[in-house]
Amino acid sequence: MKIAWPLIISSGTFAVLNFCDRLFLSWYSEAAFRASLPAGILFFTLVCGFMALAAFTNTFVAQYWGAGDKEGCARATAQGIFFSLLSIPLIMLLTPFGLWLLRMSGHGAEVLALEQEYLGILMWCGGGMALSSALSSFFSGRGKTAVIMACNLIANGLNILLNYLFIFGKWGCPEMGIAGAGWATVIGSWTCPVIFALIYFSKSVNAEFGTIRNLRFDRWLFLRMIRFGLPSGIHWFLDVAAFTVFVLLIGRMGPVAHIASNIALSVNLIAFMPMIGMGMAVSVLVGQYLGRNQPEYAERMGWLAMKIGVGYTATIGLTFILFPAFYTRIFEGDAVAAVPMGDLLFMVRILLAMLAVWGTADAAAIILSGGLKGAGDTHFVMYFQSAAAWGFLVLGQGLIVFVLKQGVYLSWVWTLLYIIILGIGFALRFRSGRWKKIDLLDRRSSVVSAGQGIGTRHEA
């Protein structure tokens, strides 16, 4: 928990940020609120692969730190920085593709126009988010998670303040609606890596780790990071893309289903995002213990974190069941007023009950997959979750919407089954222990090569 709680708070600030973003927009207008979730999750779909690959720097830093190699921590971080900078133009090139996907969604003209405006602005955030993922890995991989918490509190706090000012036009700022929410996010997303960079290249950190001296391209390490990090990036992209299909299809089911789903998924961020922090903490600890050649402690940390995460989400899920009206009425404004309150409350009540079950399975999946990635078992994570996402979730959603012509409830039940499958699958993989045999830093080959007198680690 010493490592995990700052990451949980850090992830929680993202949950609060997204929650406030949608809350403010629900007060602003129905169309802006309905546009915020599809455009926001599509943006995340387009950039999450780059973020996940850059964030895999965390695993290398953790294992180098566990092995006592401080210079290795800086070299690994440098490769993450270079990848993040290379990703900026690639992310921007995806903007036309994202706008085309929104046009294909079949949403109404007013909502579609706002979705496209919002997405076009958010794409300027992508490079900052990838760079932040790489730089923060230097701190999270060493267990210095309080630094990450502080940086994210500053950046996300600024983002929330600017959201309010830009959306409603307060304190002399122009009233920009959903565009204001987008530009506030751009400013916040670039604030974070700037703060991380100032600390990373500071005099004291540079003296201990040689961060400036090691800011150079290391071909072996860069390719090693791509080899193990690319499956993590692909896994994140395919998983989030599959969920985006679910969200976009919900938008075709009418305003009540669309608004109810937006409310339920926004509320679910309270339970979901802190588990991202717990998953990161497990990834760090698994990496550090494997770096010290202590796999038994790595396994213990994974199961312990899962129990904590499931307990947390079960507690939050109980409030979903007991107080659905409270969560619904938080969003009272132009968006909620546009639909019958009785119908909306009834639907939100059912969706939140599903989320109470959803959250526990999601916690197990996020935390144990984090442990697997900390060990470098990224290929299994990619293959399993991609197969489940596209072979089960997307295929099933297509049949439900276009063939069976069913509505929001069956669509949600199918997604709930998908989350349960992920939780069970990752639990079985973690229990198998196969991840303990992965040699991420290629040290076994190095030992053999050194003993035979035939070469260096890079040659091995």
Tens of each residue's pLDDT in the chain, 460 residues: 788 888 888 877 777 787 788 889 888 988 888 888 888 888 988 998 999 899 999 989 999 999 899 999 999 999 999 999 999 999 999 999 999 999 987 788 888 999 999 999 999 999 999 999 999 999 999 989 899 999 999 998 999 999 999 999 999 999 999 999 999 999 999 999 999 999 999 999 999 999 999 999 999 999 999 998 898 888 888 888 888 888 888 878 888 888 888 888 888 877 777 788 889 889 989 989 998 889 999 999 999 999 999 999 999 999 999 998 888 887 776 556 667 878 888 999 999 999 999 999 999 999 999 999 989 898 999 999 999 999 999 999 999 999 998 889 999 999 999 999 999 999 999 999 999 988 887 765 544 444 443 333 333 3
Q: For the chain, what is the radius of gyration of the CA atoms? A: 22
Q: Give the count of domains, the chain.
A: 1
Nearest CA to 25 out of 174, 180, 171 is that of: 180
Can you give the pLDDT at residue 335? 55
**The residue to which tokens 């409310």 are assigned:** 263
Q: Please report the sign of the dihedral spanned by the C-alpha atoms of residue 240, residue 246, residue 247, residue 252.
A: positive
| Integer Cα distance of 281 and 286 in angstroms | 9
The residue assigned the tokens 């150079």 is 216
Is 193 in contact with 24 (CB distance < 8 Å)? no
Q: Which domain, by its residues, includes 278?
A: 4-440
Q: How far apart are CA 411 and CA 254, in angstroms?
A: 14
Please provide the DSSP assignment of 121-157 as one string. Answer: HHGGGHHHHHHHHHHHHHHHTTT-HHHHHHHHHHHHH
Nearest residue to 140 via CA among 54, 230, 203, 214: 54
Residue 177: name the closest of 115, 265, 124 by CA.
115
Q: Is residue 93 part of a domain?
A: yes
Q: Which helix (H) or strand (E) element contains residue 420?
A: helix 408-432
pLDDT, residue 205, reads 96
pTM, to two decimals = 0.77
Which residue from 204, 203, 206, 159 is spatially nearest to 184, judged by alpha carbons?
159
Residues whose CB falls within 8 Å of the CB of residue 44, separated by 6 or more in sequence, listed in order: 240
> What is the C-alpha separation between 71 and 231, in angstroms, rounded?
26
Q: Give Cα separations from 199 to 10, 125, 390 (angstroms).
A: 17, 21, 41
Say which residues have a Cβ less than 8 Å from residue 383's Cβ, sequence separation at least 6.
none
Query: What's the rounded Cα separation, in Å, for the pair 223 and 104?
Result: 37
Residue 449 lies in a domain: no
SS percent in the chain: helix, strand, coil, step 5: 85, 0, 15
Q: What pLDDT score was predicted for residue 5? A: 83
Terminal CA-to-CA distance of the chain, rounded, Å?
37
Is 156 a member of any domain? yes
Does 405 map to a domain?
yes
d(CA 105, CA 100): 9
Q: List the one residue out of 346, 458, 377, 321 whose CA is nearest residue 59.
A: 377
At residue 333, the pLDDT reads 62
Distance CA 239, CA 378 (A): 14
Element (H or E) spanning 456, and its range? Answer: none
Rounded Cα gap, residues 95 and 445, in angstroms: 43
446 found inside a domain: no
Instruction: Name the H helices within 29-125.
Output: 30-55, 57-66, 70-93, 95-103, 109-122
The tokens of 203 are what? Answer: 């005099």
Is position 455 within any domain?
Answer: no
Alpha carbon distance 134, 114 (integer Å): 31
Please give the structure tokens belonging to residue 192. 């974070």
Please check whether residue 16 lies inside any domain of the structure: yes
Distances in whole angstroms, Cα of residue 93 to Cα of each of 36, 51, 105:
22, 16, 20
Is residue 460 included in any domain, yes or no? Answer: no
Cα–Cα distance measured from residue 274 to residue 458, given in angstroms and rounded to the nearest whole number:
38
pLDDT of residue 145: 86
